[in-house]
A and B are shown apart, each in its own frame.
Chain A
Amino acid sequence: MLAVAGCAKAPVSDAVNDPAEGFNRKVFAFNVAVDKAVLQPVSGVAGSGRGPILTGVHNFAANLDTPGDIVNNVLQGRLMRAARNTLRFGVNTTAGIGGLFDPSTALGLPAQETDFGETLYVWGVGEGNYQMLPILGPSTERDTVGIAVDYAINPLRFLIKSPESDYVTGAKVIDKIGSRARHSDTVDSILYDSADPYAQARLLYLQNRHYTLGEAPSDASFEDPYAQ
């Protein structure tokens, strides 16, 4: 078994690049404590998280991220997506009353969210090591850079001044609670029912992230239990 692992050049599908696992596990324990003390009980009040108010808050917060998506679409050279997101932003901001509603999806323009982490992927930057960020959760070195750059380049950050910018921050915090409520079964089953929540969260994040980026494992790396 060890000999096989030593010979293999390409990483196997389950292999993870997590040299700081000890530290990451400490951060994860902190995040779980925060969830248990704050997010889980508060989101419990939000019910399914799909009521009209939380849906409106979610639409509003997502709409405010769209200009940043457009900037990234352009940086990625994906001009069709940039055009669709621009149209989406225009329709939702006007007909959707400042982004509270999402008529674009009904019109066949569903959300196509992106981020600077994806832009770095498109530019050929490697994923780097796995990271567990306080509050923000699972990430990779590439995605952490992406989060920082996205914060810096969102055009709305320069246009929206205080006190409106405080409302935006408030909407994002409430949306985070709504999101925790919407995914409560999934999150609870990983954080509180798993034998190793850290390992589950890492696997889920990396596999799903690769899928979102279109970096999904090649057919050759899909496992065939009959061949083992």
Chain B
Amino acid sequence: MHNNHSMMSRRRFAAGFALGSVALALPLPSLALTVDDAKDMIGKAVAEINTTIASGKSQTAMYGDFERIFSRYADVPTIARSALGVAAKKASSAQMASFTKAFQGYISRKYGARFREFIGGSIEVTDARPIKSYYEVISVAHLKGQAPFDLRWHVSDKSGRNLFFNIIIEGVNMLASERTEIGAMLDKRGGNIDKLIVDLKTA
């Protein structure tokens, strides 16, 4: 199992490298993540989210923007794998690839719809600290007519690039919430991953 994991990491590292150099025109993936790197990375993601929120675009256009931001700054394969839980171990690599793609669209629509509540508001990065083998970037969401609330991002460079893999909103964490949700969806489909993938595309 451990062997398999390190192989996956290497493959993800390679994919991250290709994406980093070609799509984003970055010279090299950063090799060591520091607190400041993590904070800067989330700062950039937050700046793009704030721009989208303030853009006044249609909801569908905003979903597209959020999906781009999400795929650029989040470790989608790791989040998808974690959301699928134990079922991920039985899935073929082709199934994992199409599940990851479907999951990316699903999560962007779901959280994109929630970011609609942020219109007229903004997110401000305030601090960062190391936890175990990754970093926690702390931000505050200021929403119109609401008390500011706590929004945290867990950032790692284990994929080969600095990417976030979890968001914690006032203590509620996305990985746990999505594992519960995807697990329930899979149960409803009798454990059939292919059915889940098809339905996730429109969920």
Contact = CB atoms under 8 A, between A and B. Distances in A.
Interface of A: 1, 13-14, 50, 55, 105, 110-111, 182, 185-186, 189, 194-196, 199-200, 203-204, 207-212, 216, 219-220, 222-228
Given A195-B188, A196-B184, A225 B171 contact: no
Interface in B89-133: 110, 113-114, 116-117, 131-133
Contacts of B180: 14, 196, 199-200, 203
B49 interface: no
B181 A200 contact: yes
A199 B147 contact: no
B172 interface: yes
Contacts of A219: 131-132
A204 B177 contact: yes
A224 B176 contact: no
A216 B176 CA distance: 14
B117 A185 contact: yes
Interface in B167-192: 170-173, 175-177, 179-181, 184-185, 187-188
Given A207-B176, A220-B132, A225-B78, A195 B86 contact: no
Contacts, number: 93
B73 interface: no
Contact of A207 (B145, B171, B181): B171
Contact of B172 (A110, A203, A224): A203
A203 B132 contact: no
Contacts of B175: 223, 225
B173 A195 contact: no
Contacts of B82: 223, 225, 228
B182 to A, nearest CB: 8
A226 B78 contact: yes
A203 to B, nearest CB: 6
A228 B131 CA distance: 16
Contacts of B39: none
Nearest to B179: A14
A226 B133 contact: yes
18 contacts: A50-B144, A111-B147, A185-B114, A194-B181, A200-B177, A200-B180, A203-B172, A208-B170, A208-B171, A209-B171, A212-B170, A219-B132, A220-B132, A224-B133, A225-B82, A226-B133, A226-B134, A227-B133
B79 A199 contact: no
Nearest to A222: B131
B75 to A, nearest CB: 8
